[in-house]
């Protein structure tokens, strides 16, 4: 449905489709479109980002759980 939406220009549409494809594939990544501010901290969970490829890793209790 998103691909047929005339509301977006082709370049924005391409970005949105790529974004939702990653979400639907279960990928874990930094979302720069929707910054969130919160007073909550998830203790025991950390995120790291590779400086070379910008891939995200999720760590839970000191063990990497993403990427698998």
- Whether residues 26 and 52 fall in one domain: no
pLDDT digits (tens, 9 = 90+) for 28-60: 877 776 677 888 888 898 989 989 988 889 999
What is the phi/psi pair of residue 60, to 5°? -130, 120
Helix (H, G, I), strand (E, B) or coil at 10: helix
The reported pLDDT for the residue numbered 26 is: 84
pTM of full prediction above 0.75: no
First-residue to last-residue Cα distance in the chain: 30
Give the structural domain span for 17: 1-32
In this structure, what token pair is assigned to residue 56?
Answer: 């995200």
- Whether residues 26 and 42 fall in one domain: no
- Whether residues 1 and 18 fall in one domain: yes
Contact 16, 2 (CB under 8 A): yes
The reported pLDDT for the residue numbered 42 is: 80
- Whether residues 42 and 28 fall in one domain: no
In sequence order, the 6+-apart residues with CB closer than 8 A to the CB of 20 are 2
Share of the chain above pLDDT 90, in %: 19
- Whether residues 42 and 26 fall in one domain: no
């Amino acid at each position: 449905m998103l691909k047929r939406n005339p509301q977006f220009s082709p370049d924005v549409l391409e970005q949105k489709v790529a974004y939702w494809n990653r979400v639907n594939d279960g990928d874990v990544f930094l979302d720069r479109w929707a910054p969130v501010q919160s007073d909550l901290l998830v203790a025991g969970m950390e995120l790291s980002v590779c400086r070379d490829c910008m891939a995200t890793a999720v760590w839970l209790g000191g063990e990497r759980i993403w990427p698998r």
